Amino acid sequence: MNATPASAQSVAHLALVLALVLVAAKLAGEAASRARQPPVLGELVAGMVLGNLPWALGRSLGTDASLDMLAQLGVLLLLFEIGIESTVRDLLEVGANAARAAVLGTVCTFVVGVAFARVALPGAGIVAHVFLGASITATSVGITARVFKDLGRTRTLEARTILGASVLDDVLGLLVLALVTGWIAARERGHSASIGSLALLLVKTVGLLVTAVAVGVRLTPRIFGAAARLRTPGVLLAVGLSFCFLFAWGADKLGLAPIIGAFAAGLVLEELHSKRFVARGEKPLAELVEPITDFLVPVFFVVMGVRVDVRSFVHWHTLALAGALAAAAVIGKLACGLGVRGTSRLAVAFGMMPRGEVTLIFASLGRQSGVLGADAYSAVVLVVVLTTLLTPTALKWSLARAKTATSPAAAQSQ
């Protein structure tokens, strides 16, 4: 009898691992949804449970190369999907209130985060402090949108300000990510990161986004128009994903994180590109990508949870760091309220408070590069959990407070 090839054994093992991860992710996501929390929180907890049970398979999930590759692919598609939902028009129409909230929140969170990280983790170097401060800059607006939906207030000024600011906040978070990862890469090569080199990184990142917009305006309608002449099933999805992967490769060649390229690709591809395909009865690109992200993105979040050593939570320095970063995350986003006019400042600040996808991407990159140790990584993940849990209560309280403080006529106008 012939021996089973090693590749076949690897595929069988990966199939078993994926079955375990996906079932755990969906069950935990369902539990989180019933508790009025985002599914990502359940997926993180599921990963923590799987990775810390006393069994060999669970411990191997965090180091499985094939699973890690699928998780990284999930990150690319997640940012691509976010880009599709955040069109260039959205960026241009965020308004002064939203723009001020995003900029103030990002800058203040970074400054306070670095300062608090230095106090809570004095033994680490400046690279770790800067990385930790950068990791908590970006807002995850998913839970905020869910709270507004539950309250039936998605069309209020507070909701529109937060959702508009979140679009710009994602871009600013990716700019910070590009600068920090580029700075770390330069230090690892033994080069000093001067102001000039950081400025070059910023120019590269902005240049990539601007180039993506230019390509979207001039070239992509023609490319998708030509693709629409093909009758082969799946053409729209294939062309869209090709753009995602090509831009991710290009970003990497420019010395930027591939996720920035994936986001830029999504930013380019507006609904107009799917028009001819939809006219002949096919689904738009966003709907075609959704089943793939439903498959791969939970893998990323579960893997992030698997890599958390829950034993580190019994160490006071891990909890102290998590508490310091969570406090910095809250204080930094309170600054958002200083930039808004004509609406509840507290509601906007609390709405910008939760951390999620981008923070976890930072944590993943920090763990892989060695900038963050196991305890610091666990602390960052705990910040995501804490801010996600705090947001619904804080946001509902601030909205109720604002409603009480306004006159009946003003309340009716909302």
Splitting the chain (414 residues) into consecutive groups of 10 residues, what average pLDDT does each group show?
Answer: 57 89 92 83 88 77 85 86 71 71 89 92 84 86 66 69 74 77 68 62 72 73 84 88 89 75 80 79 87 90 85 86 92 83 80 82 83 88 87 81 60 46
pLDDT for 411 equals 45
Q: Is residue 2 part of a domain?
A: no
pLDDT for 414 equals 44
pLDDT for 323 equals 93
Q: Is residue 17 part of a domain?
A: no
Give the domain range for residue 93.
Answer: 38-45+69-404
The number of beta carbons lying within 10 Å of the beta carbon of residue 18 is 15
In this structure, what token pair is assigned to residue 36?
Answer: 């009025």
pLDDT for 413 equals 45
Q: Is residue 33 part of a domain?
A: no
DSSP 200-262: HHHHHHHHHHHHHHHHHHHTHHHHHHHHTT--STTHHHHHHHHHHHHHHHHHHHTTS-HHHHH
pLDDT for 275 equals 81
CB 284 within 8 A of CB 202: no
- Residue-wise pLDDT for 193-211, tens only, equals 556 666 776 777 677 667 7
- Residue-wise pLDDT for 243-299, tens only, equals 899 888 887 887 667 877 888 788 778 777 778 888 888 888 888 998 998 899 889
Q: Is residue 21 part of a domain?
A: no
pLDDT for 22 equals 94
Q: Is residue 84 part of a domain?
A: yes
Taking the C-alpha atoms of residue 112 and residue 330, their distance in angstroms, rounded to an integer, is 10
pLDDT for 39 equals 83
- The CATH number given to whatever domain includes residue 303 is 1.20.1530.20
pLDDT for 327 equals 93
Find the radius of gyration of the CA atoms of the chain: 22
pLDDT for 1 equals 46
Q: At residue 176, what is the residue type? A: V
Max intra-chain CA distance, the chain: 84
Q: Is residue 3 part of a domain?
A: no
Please report, in angstroms and rounded to a whole number, the separation of the first and last CA atoms in the chain.
75
pLDDT for 151 equals 66
If one counts the domains in the chain, the total is 1
pTM: 0.73
Q: Is residue 314 part of a domain?
A: yes
Residue 276 CA from chain centroid, whole number: 31
DSSP helix/strand/coil, 47: helix
The number of beta carbons lying within 10 Å of the beta carbon of residue 309 is 17
Q: Is residue 59 part of a domain?
A: no
